[in-house]
Structure 1
């Protein structure tokens, strides 16, 4: 009985729990597999069906075979990976000036992926390849302090890239990126982007502009760290609202995704207890509604703390 020949699925992420070394398949294959210790919990792979119950999986220079029991879950993971729509990339300012040939090279191995809230997309110091374009949702960017505590350094929303430093020569990831809300992304390979940067100066300029905007946002957030606790929690709520870009039903209220108070506190640079106390105080003053989904924050509060411009009647 010979293996079923199918085109490998490119750009798949699978949990390591599905990839077991040295498992014999029903067709007698045996895979030499030593899991690299530096790999993240989720591994970028290629996957090829062997039969209805098993997949041969290739990733990070190593081969695995999924056991029969995990194959249905493996199959579900493969089914969840879709081809990316090239028109989405073409409409993005970063790629707007690329030729059809350059765009094809960028998108031919791209894949659309969905991550539930709380799932890690990238891990700091990981060696995985590729970069990501967010098409929906919000992700948090965090690094570990010397004591091991998580420090949130920024948020990312629809239209923003992450992992693009890989194309600029950075060998390992510089931060953790985790889905803060349900997250939809397009995963692209780094090599075509690096090649395009060599011949398209405008692409490099726009990439630098995106990194500069992110730096300015980080600078603003650190300026607010010197403000009182209320100003910091309001700024954190505003940052979350801006990245989520939820439809505003009325000009008086700004929708904000409902998230864990601990995460919001970390974003504002304060303890969970302090964040909880500040949120409760805003609610008592009628400036925040956490009973609705999404939360609703008074626009007047944003104006008061310099986060929105006052509108003359």
Structure 2
């Protein structure tokens, strides 16, 4: 009897110490994501180096609920605003056939359309969701896409309306089997964060990745500053898979030449790195995709 009690006690203690390490190990990821198509400079999926040992997501930028002729809001009726000549349905099929580790998503919104900002501007929750589900289902199925990314940066609606519209959209597309994953792309701005954190509070369980735009911080960000920013966003989007990010257009944040990969290695050693994403393939083309190769090599390295 005493031996049995001792055995059970030892098993219980072992479980207490083993379970957290398993959970921590699940935090690290080999996910690499890259936006593509927004700048119409002829970049192709096949131009971008793809490491077979990572999970690779291309994100088409952008689909916007605006008209394409004279840009104005359309209440959830999405149209394509990326380079379809080089990034069309046949190219999607080809890159996915050539690389089984590749999935392709589309991003909604973005910063601008035409000569102005792209606003989230619904007439009502119900009508916007109905139009968005219909128009996006058509695009996603035509292009054989796998997921969506939410990148609205300007708002003519309050946070709760945004949360309901986007949350119901993701819910419906997932329930209908149209998408297998969804991400959001906030950055550190009071208005932006208020909208995305409202969405996270209500629908965070349906959001697979947080493409936080760390490159929206000031140029010259240091490694220690980046680590603090990363921890803050892990707290804001508690339980979410926060991806580290940088831009190859010379904008802000912690640059890949000034310690980004050092920071990522530290996060990886802590099992806190859920992946890396880059803005954007369009800007990287003239640089030979050097940082894409470096990012993927870091993620593919088991150590």
Q: What TM-score does the superposition give when structure 1 sets the normalisation length? A: 0.26
Larger RCO (CA within 8 A; separation ≥ 6): 2
Greater C-alpha Rg: 1
Q: What TM-score does the superposition give when structure 2 sets the normalisation length? A: 0.27
Greater strand content: 1
Greater helix content: 2
